[in-house]
Amino acid sequence: MATAAEKEGVVLLDFWVSPFGQRCRIALAEKGVEYEYKEENLSDKSPLLLKMNPIHKKIPVLIHHGKPICESLVIVQYIDEVWSNNPLLPSDPYERAKARFWADFVDKKVYECGTRLWKLKGEAHEEARKDMIEILKLLEGELGDKKYFGGETFGFVDVAVAPFTAWFYTYETCGKFSVDEECPKLAAWAKRCKERESVSKSVHDPHKVYEFVGKLKKKFGLE
């Protein structure tokens, strides 16, 4: 007898701590879609991953009825379009454009800056710290007094940013700043996100992320 996951025909190739993979998990959970989760060993990539994403060989990859979709925000948009319940993108074209802009901003800025923050030292580290605070303040500016980036409802930008809330602790520790102090509204939003089942089930404990980065640092000879 086919499981619910098999009936939907959805498989997610992922890596536990990846914020990009977590976006997909959150989106699928928001839509109530059953799927098969496959954890990849990134130092020994599966033949399935290499076949489904031959160009980049990266996770996440969503496989729907055998067809692969790559790039996390492309995947989230696909999920939003195929499963039309609980829409993540607003219906108004201008609001949609704004949501896409901010999700794209997160993609361009957060992970790259975060990496500089934990990898680099000296002046470069100081610059990364300034940049990260500026990025978070810009996000807070967009959030304003809203409950979520999507307004009253959890939306596309919320999905894009939520996984990074688990990285706040790492950024704070590496950058010696406090998100609570610099961006209190964003910090409050992060707490609200964690109360959502889709997020709490997809995103890991911040200390686990910090541990993971610690291991990466050792691997790169930075500790």
Partner 1 sequence: MLTSKATSDPRLPSNIFLHSNFRENTERMAGDLELKLLGSWASPFAMRARIALNLKGVGYELLKEVSGTKSELLLKSNPVYKKIPVLIHHGKPICESMIIVQYIDEVWAAAGPSILPSDPYERAIARFWIVYIDDKWFPSSLRTLRGLNEEAKAEAEEQLANALPLLEDAFPKCSKGKDFFGGETIGYLDIALGCYLGWIKAIEKMTGIKALDEAKTPTLVGWAERFCSGDAVKEVMPEADELIEFTKLIQAIMNAAPGRQNMHVSKNDR
Q: Where do contacts with partner 1 occur on this chain (CB under 8 A)?
A: 55, 64, 67, 69-71, 74-75, 77-78, 81-82, 93-94, 96-98, 100-101, 104-105, 138
Q: C-beta of 39: minimal distance to partner 1 in Å?
A: 23
Task: Indicate the residue among 138 and 216 with the shorter CB distance to partner 1.
Answer: 138
Q: C-beta of 191: minimal distance to partner 1 in Å?
A: 26
Q: C-beta of 81: minimal distance to partner 1 in Å?
A: 4
| d(C-alpha 18, C-alpha 114), whole Å | 13
Task: Indicate the residue among 15 and 105 with the shorter CB distance to partner 1.
Answer: 105
Task: Indicate the residue among 75 and 203 with the shorter CB distance to partner 1.
Answer: 75
| d(C-alpha 81, C-alpha 39), whole Å | 25
Q: C-beta of 103: minimal distance to partner 1 in Å?
A: 10
Task: Indicate the residue among 47 and 93 with the shorter CB distance to partner 1.
Answer: 93
DSSP 12: E
| Residue 9 Rama label (left phi>0; alpha psi -120 to 50; beta) | left
Coil, helix or strand for 11?
Answer: strand
Q: C-beta of 105: minimal distance to partner 1 in Å?
A: 7
| d(C-alpha 134, C-alpha 128), whole Å | 10
Nearest to 89 by CA among 33, 149, 49: 149
Q: C-beta of 102: minimal distance to partner 1 in Å?
A: 9
Joined together, the tokens standing for residue 47 give 């033949």
Q: In one letter, which amino acid is 147?
A: K
**Does residue 64 contact residue 17 with C-beta atoms inside 8 Å?**
no
Task: Indicate the residue among 137 and 207 with the shorter CB distance to partner 1.
Answer: 137
Q: In one letter, which amino acid is 83?
A: W
Q: Half-sphere exposure of residue 169, counting CA atoms within 13 Å on the CB side?
A: 14
Task: Indicate the residue among 53 and 202 with the shorter CB distance to partner 1.
Answer: 53
